[in-house]
Structure 1
Amino acid sequence: MSTAVNLTELREGGVQDVPSVAAIMQAAFDPRYGEAWTNAQCLGMLSLPGVWLVVASVDGVDSGFALSRSTGDEAELLLLATRPAARRRGVAGALLRAVIAEARARDVEKLHLEVRAGNDAVRLYRREGFEKVGERRAYYRGKTGQVFDAQTFSRTLA
C-alpha cells in the first residue's frame, strides 16, 4: 500500500515571485473583503529595507507565502496566504514559524500582525503564541463598501 506524501518546501522569495504571490492572493482572499494587494503594492514593499518574503511550495507548486518587515527590534507580518487546495496541511503554520525564526535572526523582540475580525487565521496566530492587543473598528472596506473590524496581535520573541 502506498500513501501520498505532500512535501512542503520553504524558500526565500523576491520580486521574481510577485506573479506567484498575486495568484495565491487571488485564490486565497475572498474578494468581498478587499484584502489582496496589487502587484505594485507588493513590488513597492519588497523594495524597502527590512522586508522579506517566504514562499511555500507543496509538491513543487507555489502554495503560500508570508510577507514581513522589520525595523529596529520590531517586525510585522504584513500578509500570509495559502491556496485553498493547500489548507489544513500545515503550510500556513510552517510559513508563520519561518517568519518567527527570521524575525529572531534579525534580533526582533516583538512581532505584530493585523487581521480582519472573524478570519479563521486567528486560531493559527493564537496557537503560535500571539495575543490580541487591540481592535480597529470599521478599518477594512470591502469591495461593496461594507466595513470590517481589524484585530491587532503581538508576540514577544525575546
Structure 2
Amino acid sequence: MDDIDRIMAVMEAAFDPQWGEAWTRRQVEGSLMMSSTHYRLLDAAGAEPVEDTDAAAFAMVRAAPGEEELLLIATKPELRGRGLGARMIALLAGDARARGADKLFLEMRENNPAVSLYQRQGFTPIGRRKGYYTAGDGTRIDAITFLKIL
C-alpha cells in the first residue's frame, strides 16, 4: 500500500459525496507532483503510519512564499473525536513554520461541522465567497476563508 492509496482510503471514507469535496486519485497525484504541495499521514494513534499500516487521517497543503494553504484534511469517521485533527493541524503548522511560512489559510463550506476544530486550533474567519459551493441538490453554499497566524 503506497501513500496515495492511504490518502484515497481516508478520503473515500471521510468525505460525504453530497458535497463533492473529495478529490480523485488523479487530482491527488497531480497535486503531489508539484514541489509546493506537501502531505502528512497519521495512524489511529496519531503517529506516522509504518509500512503496510492504514492511515487514519491525512492532510495536504500548498506552500507559497510566507504562507501555506490547507487544501484537504480528513479523518476516518469512526476515529473522529480522538484529537487526530488537532494533532494534524499542529504538525502542519510546525511544518509550515519550518518552510518559512507565518500564515496558514484554509477555505471550507459554511455548513462544515469541522469549523469548531479549526476555531479551537486558532483559525479565524477572514472572508466569504457567496454561493461558492454547490451541494448535490443544487443548493449554493458560501465558502468561508480562515487564517491562522503561525
TM-score normalised by L of structure 2: 0.89
1:67 corresponds in structure 2 to: 60
1:52 corresponds in structure 2 to: 38
Which runs of structure 1 show a deviation greater than 4 angstroms over 4 or more consecutive aligned residues?
A: none
Alignment of 1:20-35 (within 5 A): 20-35=6-21
Please state how far the C-alpha of 1:58 moved relative to its aligned partner: 1.1
Alignment match of 2:28 (pick from 42, 52, 68) = 42
1:3 corresponds in structure 2 to: none
Note the residue ranges of structure 1 that are not aligned, 5 or more in a row.
1-15
- Percent sequence identity is 40
Alignment match of 1:100 (pick from 90, 93, 103) = 93
Please state how far the C-alpha of 1:91 moved relative to its aligned partner: 0.7
Note the residue ranges of structure 2 that are not aligned, 5 or more in a row.
46-52
Alignment match of 2:103 (pick from 101, 107, 110) = 110
Contact 2:6/2:54 (CA < 8 Å) preserved in 1? no
- Report the 3-state secondary structure (helix = DSSP H, G, I; strand = E; otherwise coil) of the residue aligned with 1:120: coil
CA distance in 2, matches of 1:146, 1:40: 27
Q: Per-residue displacement from partner, 1:49-107 (whole Å, max 9, x unpaired)?
A: 22111001115531110100111111000000000011000111111111101001011
1:134 corresponds in structure 2 to: 127
CA distance in 1, matches of 2:54, 2:98: 27
TM-score normalised by L of structure 1: 0.85
Letter in 2 for 1:58: A
CA distance in 1, matches of 2:63, 2:148: 14
1:152 corresponds in structure 2 to: 145
Between Structure 1 and Structure 2, the one with more strand by share is 1
RMSD: 1.2
